[in-house]
Amino acid sequence: MKFRPFWLALALTALAVTLQGQTQGKQAAKPAAKVQNPLEVFQSFSATLNGGMGRDTDRKIYRSGKVMRLDFPDHYRLVDLDKLTTRFVYPDRCRMIGFPDAGSYPFSAYHGFKVERAPTEENEILDGHTSSIENVTLTSTSKDKDKEPITIKMKLWEAADVNGFPVKVEIDAGQDRKFTVRYTNVSLIPPDPVLFKSPAGCPGGTSRGW
């Protein structure tokens, strides 16, 4: 996948810095803001991804704990959501890069940000899913006073029939940098653990065959 300069910069900046939940006060006629990261509750799932930072099309993705897998025609990619690295696994070789694949966003966006959640009273039927809408704001927590905080706003369509999984996410990173992520064929059944394994001869960071 080729990264455009903006997308690469956003991936490195927004994803390379543990999302910490904070609570805003109660708002009139609305539920209290939630503390928990709305994405972190989904530790095991599979889905089909369209759109997003990498402008993926019908990309099959899986998650098991802190690892996400993305399928490509000639290889698959394993994203470590703790280390924020991506391993490319081909039939005869592998290699690693020092940032998460764009397709893992926004599930990889929890390092160095605080989260503010604002549930709304809006509902919408999306792709057959009755979904409640929630607004989420991520703000970077860098201690460098000379750096302006990074603010990312998200709007989540949380489908009731899949335990609130966000079947659609609109993301606004400021300065007209906006994109939409759609998830279909969502299953919360834990994927086969075999999907997240690398061949024994595939050490991290090497491009040599095994």
Give residue-wise pLDDT tens across range 53-102: 899 999 999 999 999 999 999 999 999 999 999 999 998 889 999 999 99
Q: DSSP character for 209?
A: B
Domain ranges in the chain are 5-184
The mean pLDDT of the chain is 81
Q: What pairing do the DSSP bridges indicate for beta strands 67-71 and 76-80?
A: antiparallel
**79 vs 99: CA distance, rounded Å:** 8
User: What pLDDT, on the 0 to 100 scale, is given for residue 55?
Assistant: 93
Give residue-wise pLDDT tens across range 113-133: 888 999 999 999 999 999 999
CB atoms closer than 10 angstroms to residue 157 = 25
Give residue-wise pLDDT tens across range 127-171: 999 999 999 999 888 776 667 888 899 999 999 999 999 999 999
Cis peptide bond prior to 190, omega within 30° of 0: no
Look at residues 96, 124, 115, 59 and name the one whose alpha carbon lies nearest to residue 207: 96
User: What pLDDT, on the 0 to 100 scale, is given for residue 57?
Assistant: 96
40-54, 75-89, 191-205, range with the lowest pLDDT: 191-205
Q: What pairing do the DSSP bridges indicate for beta strands 113-126 and 20-21?
A: parallel
**76 vs 3: CA distance, rounded Å:** 17
**40 vs 170: CA distance, rounded Å:** 17
Task: Decide if domain 5-184 falls under CATH 2.50.20.
Answer: yes
**124 vs 39: CA distance, rounded Å:** 19
